Amino acid sequence: MRIKRIWAVVLRQAYLYRRSLPRLLEVFYWPMVDLLLWGFVSLYLQRASADIPDFVIYFIGALILWDILFRAQQGISVSFLEDMWARNLVNIFASPLKIQEYIIGLLFISILKVTIAFVVMSSLAWLFYSFSIFKLGVSLIPLVLNLMAMGWAVGIFTMALILRFGQEAEVLAWAVAFLFMPFSAVFYPVDTLPPLLQKIALFIPSAHVFEGMRILIDKKVLSIKHLSMASALNLAFLSASTLFFAKIYRTARKRGILPKIGE
């Protein structure tokens, strides 16, 4: 055992983290998300466990729906990372492919990933917990579409950040969606959140989707109010993320980042 050699291993990681804000943020990002998420779940259970009509539907349904958002986002940002890791982005961007075509191609991958994940999760939920997500009926469709739209918006935003900050920002591909999780009120109603966070949740499309899901389970009706809010916010999210990506892409071409990304 040589202390210097062990120190070299520590030093290698320390150098890496010293210069990389995304990596540094990740150190306390996940504990913070976990604390917020499970803290609010515990609060909700403490306050209303006796009043929750169907525990299994609430939680497993929410989990399956959240995964739709997450997979939709991953379908965009991780597919982009695959090209970056393969040092293939120069080949892609030097081809006649237009950036819009590239994004639409990634959307198709995202739909495929979501479909596979949805089939697997809903089958396992039915097999192990006798829970069928299809109990929610056709009203499930607009909820799913809204979650996918939000996943795409977050995915395009994440892709722009990776394009801007390069390989060191790749952790964002797994982290950004979870930033929205506590505010999305996935496993508890929005009114469980403190007043300030409730106000933030008003502007998060997924919060309206999950509120809509709970109303659908409780009252068997699709809340048009929450559906409209989710759709309008998603439109804004998608427009903003696409404009942000277009701006970053233009800047990347100006600053010569495109050929260097992934190095």
Partner 1 sequence: MEILKVQGLKKVFNSVIALDDLNLTLSRGEILGILGPNGAGKTTLIHCILGLIEPTEGEISIFGKDLTLHRSEVLKRINFASNYVSLPYSLTPFENLMVFAHLYEVKNPAERCHRMLRLFELEHLCNRPTRRLSSGQIMRLNLAKALLNKPELLLLDEPTAGLDPEIARKTRDLLLKLARTEGISVIYTSHNLKEMEEVSKRVLFLKKGKMVAEGMVNDLIRQYGTASLEEFYFKVIGHED
Residues engaged in binding partner 1 (CB under 8 A)? 82-83, 86-88, 90-98, 250, 253-256, 258-259
Of 100 and 115, CB closest to partner 1: 100
Of 107 and 133, CB closest to partner 1: 107
Q: How far is the CB of 101 from partner 1 (least distance, A)?
A: 9
Of 100 and 228, CB closest to partner 1: 100
Q: How far is the CB of 255 from partner 1 (least distance, A)?
A: 7
Of 13 and 95, CB closest to partner 1: 95
Q: What angle do CA 163, 152, 258 make, to 5 degrees?
A: 15
Of 54 and 82, CB closest to partner 1: 82
Q: How far is the CB of 69 from partner 1 (least distance, A)?
A: 27
- Give the list of residues 6+ apart from residue 83 with CB closer than 8 angstroms, or none: 89, 92
Picking from 114, 132, 115, the residue whose alpha carbon sits closest to that of residue 123 is 132
Q: How far is the CB of 21 from partner 1 (least distance, A)?
A: 20
Of 86 and 224, CB closest to partner 1: 86
Of 2 and 254, CB closest to partner 1: 254
Q: How far is the CB of 89 from partner 1 (least distance, A)?
A: 9
Q: Which two tokens stand for residue 10?
A: 């520590």
Q: How far is the CB of 82 from partner 1 (least distance, A)?
A: 7
Q: Which amino acid is at 42?
A: S
- Give the list of residues 6+ apart from residue 46 with CB closer than 8 angstroms, or none: none
- Chain-centroid distance of CA 236 in Å reads 16
Q: How far is the CB of 96 from partner 1 (least distance, A)?
A: 4
